[in-house]
Amino acid sequence: MSETRTIRFTLNGRSESVAIQPHWNLVELLHHFGLTGARESCGQGLCGVCTVLVDDVAVSGCLYLAVRVDGKKITTVEHLDEGGTLSPVQQAFIECGAFQCGFCTPGFVLMTHQLLARNPDPSDDEIRHYLSGNLCRCAAYPEIVEAVKLAAKLQKQAR
Ligand code: FES
Ligand code: FES
C-alpha cells in the first residue's frame, strides 16, 4: 500500500484534515466523508455526474486528484440549502420535475448555481451551452432548461 498524505481543506463550511491515499480522486475523498451526491459515472470528464465546486469553480471530481484540494474550499450539492431551506435552484428543479432517475441531478444543480452566480438572467441558448457538459440519460433536458429559468426568477424575487 502506498504512503498516505495528510491534507487540510474546508468542506461545506467545516475545516477538515484527513490522511488520504495519493491516488484518490475527489469523488473518493467525498465518499470517505459520507457525501455521495457526486458520483463517478464515465470516469473520463465527459458526463458531469461527479461535479463539485472547488474554490467556487466547478470541477470533474472523477479527474481531480484529492491531494489538489489541500488548502482549498469544497462545496458539494449537500451544502446548497440555506439553513435547511432549499435553494431557489433546488426548489426549481423539484417544481419543474427536472429529473427522472436523479443520477445526473446534483451535477446539473451545482452547474446551475455557478451559471446564475455569473449570469443571473441567461437565455435558453446560454443555459443549453453552459450545461452542455452535463449529460442526462433520461433526457430531461426541456424540464432542466425550464428549471434554470424558474431558478433565475426565484433568485431575483429573493433579492
Ligand atoms: S464521472 Fe466525472 S465526468 Fe463523468
Ligand atoms: S434524471 Fe436520470 S440521468 Fe438525468
The domain that contains 100 carries what CATH number? 1.10.150.120
**Alpha carbon 158 to chain centroid distance?**
22
- DSSP, res 47: S
Residue 159: predicted pLDDT: 79
Residue 81: predicted pLDDT: 85
pTM of the model: 0.95
**Same domain flag for 17 and 58:** yes
**Same domain flag for 54 and 114:** no
> 1: Cβ–Cβ under 8 A, 6 or more apart, which residues?
21
- DSSP, res 45: S
Last residue of a domain, one of 45, 79, 113: 79
**Same domain flag for 102 and 141:** yes
**Same domain flag for 97 and 151:** yes
Q: Is the CB of 42 under 6 A from ligand 1?
A: yes
Beta strand 51-54 with 14-20 is unpaired
Q: Which domain holds residue 138?
A: 88-158
Query: Best of 96, 101, 109, 143 to mutate for ligand 2, by most ligand atoms within 8 A of CB?
Result: 101
Work out how many domains the chain is built from and give that number: 2
**Same domain flag for 116 and 54:** no
**CB of 20 closer than 8 Å to CB of 69:** no
- Grid cell 482549498 in the structure block, residue: 72
Question: In this structure, which amino acid lies at residue 93?
Answer: F
Residue 138: predicted pLDDT: 96
**Same domain flag for 92 and 75:** no
Q: Is the CB of 131 under 6 A from ligand 1?
A: no
Specify the ligand 2 atom closest to the Cα of 98. 1
pLDDT tens string 40-84: 999 999 999 999 999 999 999 999 999 999 999 999 999 998 788
**Same domain flag for 73 and 17:** yes
Specify the ligand 2 atom closest to the Cα of 138. 2
Ligand 2 centroid – CA 81 distance (Å): 21
**CB of 48 closer than 8 Å to CB of 110:** no
Residue 82: predicted pLDDT: 73
Residue 1: predicted pLDDT: 57
**Same domain flag for 55 and 104:** no
**Same domain flag for 51 and 101:** no
Q: Is the CB of 9 under 6 A from ligand 2?
A: no
The domain that contains 61 carries what CATH number? 3.10.20.30
Residues in the chain with pLDDT < 50? none
